[in-house]
Amino acid sequence: MGTLHFAEYIDANLDTERWSCHECGQDLGDLRGNYKRGLLVAERDPREIHEPVLEGEYTFAPKSDWIRIIEFYCPRCGRQVETQYLPPGHPLTQDTELDVDAVKQRIAAGVVRINDDGKLEAAR
Amino acid sequence: MSYPTKEEKLAALKVTEPSEYELGCVDLVKPGDYEIGVQRTNDMVDEGYEVFMRSSRSSMGVAGDSIVAIFNARGDLVNASAGTYLHAIIPPIVIKFILKRYSENPGINDGDVWYTNDALYGGIHNPDQCAIMPVFFDGDLVAWTAALSHTTETGAIEPGGMPLTATSRFEEGMNLPPMRVGQNFRINSDILEMFAAFGIRATDNVTVDMRARATTCDRVRVRLLEMFEREGKEFAIGLLRKMLIEAEEGARKRVSHWCDGVYRNVTFSDAAGLQPGLIRNCVMTMTKKGDHLAFDFTGTSPENPSSYNAHPQAVVGHMANYIYEYVFHDLPVSSATFQAVDFIFPENSMLSPDARAATSNSVMACTGVMSSVANCISRARFASDEWTQVAASQGNGGNAIVIAGISQWGANFADMIAYPINTEGQGARATSDGMDAYGFPWCGFGRAPDVESMENEFPLLLPFSSHWKDSGGAGKHRGGVGTAQLWVTHNVPMLFQMAIADNSSIQTPQPLFGGYSQPTVPGIVLDGVDVKELMAKAKAGAGSISFEGLLSGDFGGRVVTSQYGSQIHPVLDGQTVIVGLSTGGTGYGDPLDRDPAAVEVDVRKNLVSIGQAHSLYGVVVDPTSGRVDDGATTARRADLVEQRLARGVPYDEFEATWSTRRPDESIMQWFGSWPEGNVVNPVMRP
């Protein structure tokens, strides 16, 4: 059926029903699951990214006890696939649940097709 | 009380069923004639938009924070020119309310001018005011016209129309349900006097803006009637209905290309008015199936006792900002594009509060909604042939500086300075950076007034306005940078100032595909320095006045920081009102994928510091030559990737530790239950 270039660094293979890294091909798990589970995860102090410019409570940097930056990396090539700004301990967001059956059904029905760039387009 | 329910307001956004007569008229509109007819409606609303800006008095009206629109006889939005797309959501609700409640008493007549600004009845917040005129042809109601804009004074407990200390709607000044304010093509003098009384801090702004709305409605009404005369009644009615049919088909076709699935985004803010606290200001779950979209806001924090709440249709309005600008940009601004979109709002959340709630800062309450809709739709859209339209969220700072007092011309004023909010950076795009200082996320086609115009209008001096270095979110494609400005009291003994802003402790927007957000915004004042004396020295050759110089202490005095939002307070002649900070946009993609040559250009243009080039982009720039060191850059980037692989842990392992933590209780008063966000302490509003 083909492979979708689903996100900047994520491919979705509709035949094998697997997520993979668009850059290096690393397998990232079941297409019906959360691709983030196939990535490495790290917590960053926001001041490492947004360096304080001023002294005091308000510095241009987020307060590190209010928010943390969660980074998701491809375990093979190290691409930073996603980032999220979350309060400490806040549930990680599953940003995508692909409706595999619906996409396949619409391709099979000839409503849409996957073009050479891995993108869905009208089939007619 | 008879204000419309949430369900009635959301239902009013849907297009009415066409009558047999209308469908017969549609058949009269042939290809070729249809396209010409559409363009004629474009010309009408574009002309109206120009008339509106030239007739308005308050800063937002002059900047173009407005919309001019045409509706069919049933109140469906057919086409508009904007400005600010969020206004598009209001009038269909209001017109359908007028038709339902007022057709018999007091009746709807040729020459009526109707008006409202009440969010309970379908508005965004009460500074956003709406004039509506029915269009009669041969004695029949055949259409409506509307003009909406933001007037920065409503007679609330604080100047500027968006009071920070309001705890209920009863402290927000003028709130008018839909009512007739003019008859026989004239505004009633008693009504005008009422506006003047509510707007006593800035009478000209309030009354002139009100007249401008009515003037604009009438101009478009006249142009519509010219089309009815020229092309015939049936053609014109058929054209308006056919535009709705075509817009719905276009919207459904576009959505149908996207990947089916469920998409989520979660955002946070750091204050309710001036009260710091962690708020989950949007949990958006978007379900895309075929050509249909559903948005569920379950999990968003409860309503709070500040003015940072929004009624549901105001939330839809904030989604319209993005949807009309990025998704349906080539379709008419029309009710029909929302025909296949449904919403779920949990009761008593900050996005569906009680009728008594203060909502005058709904625009601040909805910053997370604006970020989330960009993120969810971008994710669904990237795997389609429209992927080049994908963009990371705007910064959505909306840091608003309100000033009030008596001007150098002896006139009362209470206004919001339009320049800072109209110079934010754009979110990065799938194929390019966000534009630097592109505009106002709430008003994609607004314009920042000239500095000289503002200095002439208000008792202000603007010693510098420059791009704000490092304010764009880092990424493969960089978020556009915002601006920094220094505002100083000038030509009067004093003025009053307050600032409406959050994002001093944390940023609201989430970036996209591995980028970063923009920095937070501190409130900065230069204390103990007469800036005008400083300028005199600079003019005499003792250096120049710049943002970086101010931050580094080059000007003497004391750099005082606080949260950006501030209570109303006086500022004396020559003193710093505030350092205005217009946020940058968020970043797109891994910063290590950014072309080093682009980083070199950024550094040369003073948009990115050498330090950030090294730390986030892994690009080593020689401080002397300003050129990229290719070898050192390759090594630096390899080292950063190694660091990632060393610190990253598998998802389950990370979650096991992470999920045991929670923020300190001292900042959780507005959040709701942890982590569900359910109501814990109901808000009591006497």
Quote the CA–CA distance of B639 and B357 in Å, as a whole number.
Answer: 53
In chain B, what residues touch A88 (CB-CB under 8 Å)? 658, 661-663
B651–A41 C-beta distance less than 8 A = yes
Residue of B nearest to A31 (CA): B261
Q: Read off the tokens for B524.
A: 């900065």
Quote the CA–CA distance of A13 and A5 in Å, as a whole number.
Answer: 9
Q: What's the burial of B625, exposed, middle or buried (CB within 10 Å: 0-12/13-18/19+)?
A: exposed
Interface with chain B: mutation pick from A41, A76, A100, highest number of B CBs within 10 Å: A41
Residue B557, pLDDT score: 83
Q: Read off the tokens for B407.
A: 């001007």
Average pLDDT of B414-434? 94
Across the interface, which of A59, A73, A115 has its CB nearest the CB of B645? A73
CB pairs below 8 Å between A and B: how many? 230
Cis-peptide, bond into residue B675, ω within 30° of zero: yes
Strand partners, B186: B183
Shortest Cα–Cα distance, B654 to chain A (Å) = 7
Quote the CA–CA distance of B510 and A120 in Å, as a whole number.
Answer: 26
Residue of B nearest to A58 (CA): B522
Residue B536, pLDDT score: 81
Ramachandran sector of residue B624 (left: φ over 0; alpha: ψ -120 to 50; beta: rest) = alpha
Task: Classify residue B104 by its DSSP letter.
Answer: I
Residue tagged 């429209």 (tokens): B386
In chain B, what residues touch A69 (CB-CB under 8 Å)? 516
Quote the CA–CA distance of B25 and B468 in Å, as a whole number.
Answer: 55
In chain B, what residues touch A26 (CB-CB under 8 Å)? none
Shortest Cα–Cα distance, B273 to chain A (Å) = 17
Three-class SS of A68-124: EEEEEECCCCCCEEEEEEECCCCCCCCCEEECHHHHHHHHHCCCEEECCCCCEEECC
Quote the CA–CA distance of B638 and B646 in Å, as a whole number.
Answer: 12
Mean pLDDT of chain B: 95
Residue B540, pLDDT score: 61
The tens digit of pLDDT for each residue in B480-492 reads 999 999 999 999 9
Quote the CA–CA distance of B482 and B499 in Å, as a whole number.
Answer: 17
In chain B, what residues touch A13 (CB-CB under 8 Å)? none
- Report the number of secondary-structure helices (H) and strands (E) in chain B: 19, 22
Residue B543, pLDDT score: 62
Q: Which residues contact B181 (CB under 8 A, 6 or more apart)?
A: B113, B114, B115, B131, B187, B188, B191, B210, B214
Question: In terms of DSSP bridges, do strands B113-116 and B558-563 run parallel, antiparallel, or are they unpaired?
Answer: unpaired
The tens digit of pLDDT for each residue in B541-597 reads 656 788 888 888 887 888 899 999 999 999 999 998 889 999 999 999 999 999 999
B659–A89 C-beta distance less than 8 A = yes
B259–A6 C-beta distance less than 8 A = yes
Residue of A nearest to B263 (CA): A96
Quote the CA–CA distance of B307 and B144 in Å, as a whole number.
Answer: 32
Across the interface, which of A42, A63, A81 has its CB nearest the CB of B514? A81
Across the interface, which of B263, B561, B645 has its CB nearest the CB of A40? B645
Residue of A nearest to B552 (CA): A54
Quote the CA–CA distance of B629 and B600 in Å, as a whole number.
Answer: 10
Q: Read off the tokens for B552.
A: 């580094």
Residue B182, pLDDT score: 98
Residue B553, pLDDT score: 81
The tens digit of pLDDT for each residue in B608-647 reads 999 999 999 999 999 999 999 999 999 999 999 999 999 9
Phi and psi of B200, rounded to 5°? -60, -25
* B71: enclosing H helix or E strand: strand B66-72
Contact A64, A52 (CB under 8 A): no
Quote the CA–CA distance of B349 and B301 in Å, as a whole number.
Answer: 6
Quote the CA–CA distance of B300 and B369 in Å, as a whole number.
Answer: 10
Q: What is the pTM of this model?
A: 0.97
Residue tagged 């205005």 (tokens): B580
Residue B309, pLDDT score: 98
A49–B561 C-beta distance less than 8 A = no
Alpha-carbon dihedral angle through residues B335, B336, B338, B343, given to the nearest 10 degrees: 80
A99–B260 C-beta distance less than 8 A = yes
Name which of B489, B466, B374, B362 is nearest B427 in CA terms.
Answer: B374
In chain B, what residues touch A37 (CB-CB under 8 Å)? 651-652
Q: Where are the beta strands (DSSP E) in B433-535?
A: 460-461, 465-467, 483-489, 494-500, 522-527
Contact B643, B654 (CB under 8 A): no
In chain B, what residues touch A51 (CB-CB under 8 Å)? 611-612, 615
Name which of B191, B158, B193, B157 is nearest B176 in CA terms.
Answer: B191
Alpha helices in B435-498 (DSSP H): 451-457
Residue B332, pLDDT score: 92
The tens digit of pLDDT for each residue in B444-499 reads 888 888 889 899 999 999 999 999 999 999 999 999 999 999 999 999 999 999 99
Name which of B202, B178, B79, B183 is nearest B119 in CA terms.
Answer: B178
Q: Where are the beta strands (DSSP E) in B418-461?
A: 460-461
Task: Classify residue B300 by its DSSP letter.
Answer: P
Quote the CA–CA distance of B250 and B582 in Å, as a whole number.
Answer: 35
The tens digit of pLDDT for each residue in B75-122 reads 999 999 999 999 999 999 999 999 999 999 999 999 999 999 999 999
Contact B416, B152 (CB under 8 A): yes
Res B531 pLDDT > 90 = no
Quote the CA–CA distance of B238 and B78 in Å, as a whole number.
Answer: 12
Shortest Cα–Cα distance, B69 to chain A (Å) = 32
Residue of A nearest to B283 (CA): A93
Q: Which amino acid is located at B134 in the chain?
A: P
In chain A, what residues touch B659 (CB-CB under 8 Å)? 89, 91
Q: In this predicted complex, what is the ipTM? A: 0.98
B257–A120 C-beta distance less than 8 A = yes
Interface with chain B: mutation pick from A3, A10, A40, highest number of B CBs within 10 Å: A40
- Model confidence at A65, pLDDT cuts 50, 70, 90, reads very high
Phi and psi of B381, rounded to 5°? -90, -20
Percent of chain B with pLDDT over 90: 90
Shortest Cα–Cα distance, B650 to chain A (Å) = 5
Strand partners, A69: A44, A85
The tens digit of pLDDT for each residue in B206-241 reads 999 999 999 999 999 999 999 999 999 999 999 999
Residue B37, pLDDT score: 97
Q: What's the burial of B121, exposed, middle or buried (CB within 10 Å: 0-12/13-18/19+)?
A: buried
- Model confidence at B686, pLDDT cuts 50, 70, 90, reads confident
Quote the CA–CA distance of A68 and B268 in Å, as a whole number.
Answer: 12
What is the distance, to the nearest Å, from the Cα of residue B167 to the centroid of all Cα atoms in its chain? 22
Across the interface, which of A43, A62, A117 has its CB nearest the CB of B506? A62
Three-class SS of B162-194: CCCCCCCHHHCCCCCCCEEEEECCEECHHHHHH
Residue B447, pLDDT score: 82
A56–B385 C-beta distance less than 8 A = no
Residue B545, pLDDT score: 81
**Number of residues that this document lists for chain A:** 124
- Model confidence at B419, pLDDT cuts 50, 70, 90, reads confident
Average pLDDT of B169-180? 97
Quote the CA–CA distance of A117 and A3 in Å, as a whole number.
Answer: 9
